[in-house]
Amino acid sequence: MVSFTVTILGSSSALPTLNRFPTSQVVCLNAKLFLIDCGEGTQIQLRKFGLKVGKINHIFISHLHGDHIFGLPGLISTMALGGKKGVLHIYSHSELKAMMDPLLKFMNEMEDFKVVYHPLNFRSSAVIYEDATLQVESFPVKHRIPCCGFVFREKQHQLHLRGAQVEFLKIPVRDRVAIKNGSDYYRPDGTKVLNSELTLPPDPIRAYAFCTDTVQRKQIIPVIRDVDLLYHEATFGEDLKDLALKTYHTTAKQAAEIAVQSGAKKLIIGHFSSRYKHERLLIEEARSVFPNTFAANDGERFEL
């Protein structure tokens, strides 16, 4: 299977701490990099964790609060100074362009490099990106301002050929793609060989869901069902459940409930309030509901 990873660049909530930068993550599938959110210092974290700024062509922005976007001007400037060509696609609330344009007006280096903004849909889920191997779907969550989560889902893989059978029947290379896509095979004498005799099941489809910032929102469950890895914010513990509700955030226990109910295989929690000196309590709270829970820590890489 090709590599499918999520690297945490920042895991704080609004106030960064000595160990946590504001929210940002890199999804890497098959050596393609996708950035989710871009808090202040994202370009510094990318460099620190050995990820090439210039390889990012798609950025997904959940919402327009500063701790999710204030790294964008610096990142875009650095891309331009580094000689990046072509188009950088940013999927976000439509107002982002008006926020960024005044900051980038002094950049002379952007002649062959363009930023294209794609507005998100905050009413219903929508496929916003697709390539040969991946589909990204946005879905509304509920925060103080319009906010979306994202699911990164692999597309259906091809079937695996049974090598020995293919060799024995001397199936020409030109016919193999059709078989990998499910066709039966007809031998030169017209005999039909069933696809099931020639193939093994494809690799499983892997999926990653990212949900922040939001109150606990059960409506997202159908969209994120059965993901291999779920990142869900857990700004507070249950001790501050009322504050979580008031500020449109989630507690660690509530995040774990979403993981249970959506059938996630593994949960990462993050976006911790700076009042928690250590994430241990939040992790314990989540694990009491969903044992396979881990804390997002800057620099950590999760493999799907």
Residues binding a second copy (CB under 8 A): 14-18, 21-22, 40-41, 43-44, 47-48, 64-67, 70-71, 73-74, 77-78, 81-82, 98-99, 102-104, 106-107, 145
Nearer to a second copy, 66 or 204 (CB): 66
- DSSP tag of 274: T
For the bound state, the minimum distance from the C-beta of residue 281 to a second copy, rounded and expressed in Å, comes to 22
**Residue 155 vs 278, nearer CB to a second copy:** 278
Going by their DSSP bridges, the two strands 199-200 and 148-154 should be labelled as unpaired
Least Å distance between CB 101 and a second copy? 9
Task: Give 77's contacts (C-beta < 8 A, 6+ positions apart).
Answer: 104, 107
Helix (H), strand (E) at residue 86: strand 86-92
> Would you give the DSSP letter of residue 12?
B
Q: Using an 8 Å Cβ cutoff, are 237 and 285 in contact?
A: yes
Supply the minimum distance, in Å, between the C-beta of residue 53 and a second copy.
9
Q: How many other CB atoms are there within 10 angstroms of residue 142's CB atom?
A: 15
Largest Cα–Cα distance in the chain? Answer: 75
* Sign of the torsion formed by the C-alpha atoms of 273, 277, 283 and 285: negative
Catalytic residue numbers?
67
6 or 72: CB nearest a second copy: 72
The Cα–Cα gap between 294 and 304 comes to 14
Q: Which is nearer to a second copy, 43 or 262 (CB)?
A: 43
Least Å distance, CB 37 to a second copy, is 14
Angle at which helix 280-287 crosses helix 252-262, to 10 degrees, equals 40
Using DSSP's 3-state secondary structure scheme, residue 238 falls into helix
Enter the tokens of residue 172: 């020409």
Nearest to 231 by CA among 215, 211, 251: 211
**Closer CB to a second copy, 126 or 243, in the complex:** 243
